[in-house]
Amino acid sequence: MPHRPEKCLPAESRVVFMGSPAFAVYSLDALVGAGYKVDAVVTQPDRPSGRGRKITPPPVKQRALSLGLRVLQPQRASDIDFINEIRRLAPDVIIVAAYGQILKPDLLNLAPCGAINIHASLLPKYRGAAPIQWVILNQEKTTGLTLMRMDAGLDTGPIILQRAISIEDDETFGGLHERLAVMSGPFLLEGLQGLREAALLERRQDDRFATYAPKISKEMNVIDWNAPSDQISALIRALDPFPGAVSSFRGARVKLFASRAVSPVEGLPVPGRIFAIEREGLVVEAGSGAVLVREMQVSGKRRVMSYECSRGLGLKAGAVLGL
């Protein structure tokens, strides 16, 4: 049954923020802009990134340093020395947004108001690491944000606040990620204000409706042109811009982007066959229906319009992808 938690945030709350990717930067900016005292920002260690494997700090670290905030980068958030450091800071609340490590009860229960997490789905659906990609893969019509009080489970804690949005037709992972990220800052502040005023009803998740969103594996990236066109388009959009859905032509590995399912072509389809090359993109036959692909990227080259890429690869109508 929903319950109203006691007030746990003082007027001048002290915060420890934990986050790593660009998605979390919006929440950090919102906290600082609203005047919260962020005593420390905890983020993942710097790691090799990109084709050159250059050691690169997480986006949250870069933003925190630009704001003059203290940054902590433990190898493991479960290390006792790190937990003791957070204990010495005595935060009123720990805010978590896509931090990237599982947090143990010793840390979750340290602050009077606990640890509050922003999750990019409408829990209990799509618990796990890749909810935005999976809602597109599964062709959902709605998704949103959940603010929850963290417990020892995987995104299983009580729900504090939720906000739903519609998923646009042909929306990509990148586009939906950006929309949810921009929403996350004001959404977090609304939830914290509600906690400060004890104005929100907290409710347990109903595990009967739980689904999971594990990390996207490399095996999932390869397009099976025998699948229906709506499934293929969903895969391409769910992996756009990263890591990219993959096909091939004459041994060349090609990533496909910005797709939509289109009407079936005339005659018996040949999965993977290019039905037409138009200014808008390639029309590729599927197991049923066809897929319009607007942009492509050959391995080692930049992403370009499909019409331009097709000329470089020597693609013509009748050629078959995936061979």
Q: What is the mean pLDDT of residues 103-121?
A: 96
Q: Could you tell me the pTM of the whole model?
A: 0.95
Total count of residues recorded for the chain: 323
Q: Is there a contact between 113 and 195 (Cβ–Cβ < 8 Å)?
A: yes
Three-class SS state of 30: helix
Note the pLDDT of residue 266.
80
CB atoms within 10 A of CB 320: 15
Q: Is there a contact between 237 and 170 (Cβ–Cβ < 8 Å)?
A: yes
Three-class SS state of 313: helix
Place of tokens 């808008």: 280
Local confidence band at 52 (pLDDT 50, 70, 90 cut-offs):
confident
Q: Which of 177, 168, 175, 164 is nearest to 139 (CA)?
A: 168
Of residues 144 and 267, which shows the higher confidence score?
144
Local confidence band at 228 (pLDDT 50, 70, 90 cut-offs):
very high
Local confidence band at 268 (pLDDT 50, 70, 90 cut-offs):
confident
Q: Is there a contact between 213 and 128 (Cβ–Cβ < 8 Å)?
A: yes
For residue 65, give the amino acid letter.
L
Q: Which of 17, 121, 120, 101 is nearest to 60 (CA)?
A: 17
Rg (CA), the chain: 23
* Whether the predicted pLDDT of 222 surpasses 90: yes
pLDDT tens digits for 67-100? 999 999 999 999 999 999 999 999 999 999 999 9
- The sign of the dihedral angle between the CA atoms of 213, 216, 219, 222 is positive
For residue 321, give the amino acid letter.
L
Q: Is there a contact between 285 and 277 (Cβ–Cβ < 8 Å)?
A: no
Domains of the chain: 14-209 (3.40.50.170), 218-313 (3.10.25.10)
Note the pLDDT of residue 3.
64
What's phi and psi for 218, nearest 5 deg? -60, -30
Note the pLDDT of residue 265.
79
CB atoms within 10 A of CB 16: 25
